[in-house]
Amino acid sequence: MLPKSRTFANRKAGSIHKMIHIQQHTSLQSFNTFGVDVEADYFARFQSEEELMALLSSPEIPIHVTSDYAHQKKILLLGAGSNILLTKDVEGVVLKNEIDGINSVHEDDDYVYLKAGAGVVWHELVLYCVEHNLGGVENLSLIPGTVGAAPIQNIGAYGVELKDSFYTLRALDIQEKEWLNFSNHDCQFGYRSSIFKTKLKNRVIITSVTFKLTKKHQLHLSYGAIKERLTLMGIDDPTIKDVSDAVIAIRQSKLPDPHKIGNAGSFFKNPVVSAEVVEHLMQIFPDLVSNKSGDGFKLAAGWLIEKAGWKGYREGQVGCYDKQALVLVNYGGASGAEIVALSQKIQQSVRDKFGIFLEPEVNFV
């Protein structure tokens, strides 16, 4: 049987324009997990596709959609603000996606297809799936952000990526004002990447995502410390809830709560290098941490940063978290420029020591 849907009342079309509230000169400090205090010229929230369309056509805000998206800076879309570093005041309009709702749309013998609004908190979706015994996303527990942001980044953790359970998504082409549907193949998923970070960057706004979730589960336990944590929990035959609980415990033990210390989780991607590079580095650093990834090897960026001496480093109000070197933090009052400056020092240090370039996972604005 399909799990009970979580739905929300639709707004009458005639009242859409009345419900839209556009703010001017708004601080974004509470809308990004780094807690950086910058200002947006205009700020508005939308909770439905109808409200989004109304905002894009509103005469109250200067949204100028052009065909030159390489230089299109007038619209910034926010979900939870958990994978973004704001480096300056935002010109134009910031739109916060708050489309909610989780609904089962189809079921067969092996899978349940679950549709979620782009504004749903990602971890809430994971908990919903675990509660209803729907497998595929349990390893992605406690990742900050929203459902709509997850495909853009192709979020991943503990041997699982979003693309593994992704089915389709619906998005608005803001240039053509057309609704589009994207399959898994259409999204061109890569490591922490998708077509929405490349060819279609700033071009579309995702409003819902549909997932293909298992009823007969295949657990992924080999990556990271999941098996060890399950053993500590006294569990020999884990369920997807056990896996989710283990991941939550691991993440809470080494990652700062953004409500207490400003951060965006992993700041850098794990670099992927050739076998030759790994062999060379292991001659110098026998304890190098690497894993096979496609035709290459993925190095642990946190290990590289720690070995370069940055773990626990603090400079003013910015620093490198003392429990996980991959996380840069704002201890309070730091600017985006200060966080960028620290990240660049870390990049240069790692390049000097290992000959490896660390690419930011966080998006700079």
Give catalytic residue positions.
192, 266, 361
Instruction: Identify the CA nearest to 211 among candidates 244, 245, 169, 240.
Output: 169
Residue among 41, 62, 48, 40 at smallest CA distance from 17 = 48
Q: How many helices (H) and strands (E) does the chain have?
A: 9, 20
User: Amino acid letter at 65?
Assistant: V
- Residue in 346, 159, 155 with CA at minimum distance from that of residue 265: 155
Judge whether 356 and 363 are in contact, CB under 8 Å: no
Treating both helix axes as pointing N-terminal to C-terminal, what angle do 240-254 and 122-131 enclose, rounded to 10 degrees?
150
- Which runs of consecutive H residues, i.e. helices, occur in 32-176? 49-56, 122-131, 149-153
* C-alpha closest to that of 207 among 186, 164, 178: 178
Please give the helix or strand (H or E) that residue 178 lies within, else none.
Answer: strand 178-183
Rounded CA-CA distance 14/12 in Å is 5
**Interatomic CA distance for residues 215 and 74, integer angstroms:** 43
